[in-house]
A and B are shown apart, each in its own frame.
Chain A
């Protein structure tokens, strides 16, 4: 009988990194379903392509470049690939998405050290990268045509609700989109920015599974609600309603799935609160006063940069020590 001496504790939860990633993918699947319903097969293809290409690129990096013979895919790349796909327009050419995935996995994730080591959310950083490199493809929005095999060549492009608010004011935005449209996803925008409701359902699954740093979305959305309530009182036509801001654009996708990315968000509860409030503040500043109608991605990326400092200065009082 061989006696094993691996270190204590000798029992572990059966949980694994792959299980965590699988749960995130499961939680995003309602949003993929909604996107497919509204934008057709192309949205589904982009989502799957994002996942597979990300896993392949990571596999190559780990096995060939890093010479890790024991590397087994854990799904973290697939999460990044899917999140990026959900963050582009349905009209994005597949090769543009591929460049984005390559940037996300090779540069943002692995050049920073790989799994768990990156400072910035890879999907968001890649989104900004694509926005700068392919501004037209990344800002051409189509209305949901509801045709499964539809192509977009002959379809009239549309504006996103936030862009309408910025350019034409709130009344005009509400003539084009109802709250029901926003909630159920009948709007133009990124693939994953359609149905706030289905994003929330996926999010609740993560909450149930204990996979989410719940303080972040709570403080993020809370801050957005508070600020937009105040600004609504100042000038409703210019600034829109709180509900509009919560449902429009990348708010739900960002607050529920991007800001809560485990790797790039703070570890302590206090830190998560600071992070969430920071994201909310910056998002609204950009939405109100920035040159670009949407501020979710940038605000989260900006707050990502502060995570190491936040983690450092928000460590709670250690048992038996005096509050310092």
Chain B
């Protein structure tokens, strides 16, 4: 890394990239026979079901209504019949969530969003349209996009996140290669909403072809910034710092430094909502890992059960494993699911099936590796210690809430200390003790 890189991106790790599917074009998955549509596929309040058991629904029809300002609409991903409106136990949320279960009865009959003339629409009309489309951050955070597009402070810079720094995942890479013309339309829409002049896209140098293609296609409208291939380069704060040199303040938002970051897939969804009038019922997803027979990139309907994804699209698990890990997301931050009934969610950029790696753990040997790699400049070993001793206030003082849960510390730790696990738990407890502030 050069001197500039060192100043603009600190720490991080370089796990094996394992981009097994980077040359697989995105294929359209067959329609699942049954979908399980969670009412909570976004940060904020769960949506409320607006359909009843037995009701016929069309693809794109509203099935869940947003509740409150930070929430999102949910639409039917198939044409069929509602067979249940029920609570299911979600291994992703760790609690019971409400879900609308729909049995597909045939091919798609679309119920499209209302018409909107992108050239003439006002900023407010466009944001409202994004809200109606139920779009959330597709990079994994699932924050409602219409809220994000209305930042509390004016922004002057839009950054498209094409870093895809998680190992294994390749969907953003493929989307950039295959949908460059569509994404740029989405960029125009977002630019109009935010009234920003400067647009960047950050792409890790392990995706040379995408860097070259977008530089050629988009010319000067978007500045393509090659990023060092180093995890977690695609984390929002790290990306902003690297590209603009601005540092999002602790506890603050990108808007505090005049920046808004959007994942490339989200921008594509915005284009599809505004131009093609399609609500968010389908997304791109990588099915990958050593544990599944066929790997690839797919356009897949939200709500498809993961059991179906693995059987239909993946050809089943690779033989010979008795236990395996099925991750919603990539190997660094993905959530291990405990039931294959779990459906694909809006923020689900990948399903990674990998065998468990043996973890020989000992006490912390104070090697300081975790301190060296933490991109937030924290003391992970100490956060872990204080968290396990339940000294939450002390932990908060040294940056508990600044941790972005990237996992670099636990990845590098020779003693296999589970920093991320204890930090996540401590954050939860600390927040509830503090009455939900911050």
Contacts and interface: CB of A to CB of B under 8 A. Distances in A.
Given A12-B359, A20-B365, A117-B363, A320 B252 contact: yes
A98 to B, nearest CB: 25
A315 B383 CA distance: 12
B414 A16 contact: yes
Contact of A114 (B363, B375, B377): B363
Given A10-B331, A19-B414, A116 B252 contact: no
A262 interface: yes
Interface stretch (B190-198, B207-215, B242-250, B266-274): B242-250
Nearest to B374: A319
A1 B336 contact: no
A9 interface: yes
A12 B333 contact: no
Contacts of A320: 237, 247-252, 376, 402
A10 B414 contact: no
Nearest to A320: B250
A9 B167 CA distance: 11
A9 B356 contact: no
B327 A10 contact: yes
B414 A4 contact: no
Nearest to B324: A1
B356 A4 contact: yes
Nearest to A76: B365
A319 B411 contact: no
Contacts of B252: 320
Contacts of B10: 319
A111 to B, nearest CB: 15
Interface string A1-44: 11111111111110111111000000000000000000000000
B317 A318 contact: no
Interface in B301-323: 317, 321-323
Nearest to A307: B366
B399 interface: yes
B90 to A, nearest CB: 13
Contacts of B325: 3-6, 10
A267 B379 contact: yes
Contacts of B421: 7-8
Contact of B323 (A3, A11, A117, A318): A3
B330 to A, nearest CB: 9
A132 B410 CA distance: 42
Contacts of A17: 360, 362, 365, 414-415
A114 to B, nearest CB: 7
B335 interface: yes
A317 B402 CA distance: 12
Nearest to B376: A319
A278 B250 CA distance: 34
Interface stretch (B36-44, B74-82, B114-122, B337-345): B337-345
A116 B336 contact: no
B76 to A, nearest CB: 28
Contacts of A76: 365
Interface in B257-301: none
B140 to A, nearest CB: 12
A20 B367 CA distance: 9
Q: Give the interface residue-count category, chain A.
A: 35 or more
A67 interface: no
A7 B418 CA distance: 8
B131 to A, nearest CB: 29
Interface string A46-71: 00000000000000000000000000
A234 B411 CA distance: 52
Interface in B351-383: 352, 354, 356-357, 359-360, 362-368, 371, 375-379, 381-382
Contact of A3 (B324, B334, B357): B324
Contacts of A117: 363
Nearest to B381: A267
B206 interface: no
A241 interface: no
Task: Among B352, B366, B375, find the residue whose CB has the most chain A CB atoms closer than 10 A.
Answer: B366
Contacts of A4: 323-325, 336, 356
A317 B410 CA distance: 21
A9 B419 CA distance: 10
Contact of B337 (A3, A72, A74): A3
A317 B10 CA distance: 12
B338 A3 contact: yes
Interface in B415-431: 415-416, 418, 420-421, 424
B326 interface: yes
Contacts of B332: 8-11
Contacts of A10: 325, 327, 331-332, 334, 336, 352, 354, 356-357
Contacts of B364: 116
Nearest to B408: A9
Contact of B371 (A6, A19, A268): A268
A5 B414 contact: no
Contact of B366 (A5, A8, A18, A263): A263
A262 B251 CA distance: 33
A315 to B, nearest CB: 6
Contact of B360 (A3, A7, A16): A16
B412 interface: yes
9 contacts: A10-B334, A11-B331, A12-B416, A17-B365, A117-B363, A262-B367, A318-B398, A320-B247, A320-B402
Top 3 nearest A-B pairs (CB, nearest first) are A9-B407, A7-B421, A116-B363
Interface of A: 1-13, 15-20, 72, 74, 76, 114-117, 211, 213, 262-265, 267-268, 311, 315-321
Given A3-B340, A15-B414, 17 more contacts: A1-B322, A2-B322, A3-B326, A7-B418, A8-B336, A8-B405, A9-B411, A11-B411, A12-B357, A74-B362, A115-B363, A262-B368, A263-B365, A263-B366, A319-B241, A319-B250, A320-B251
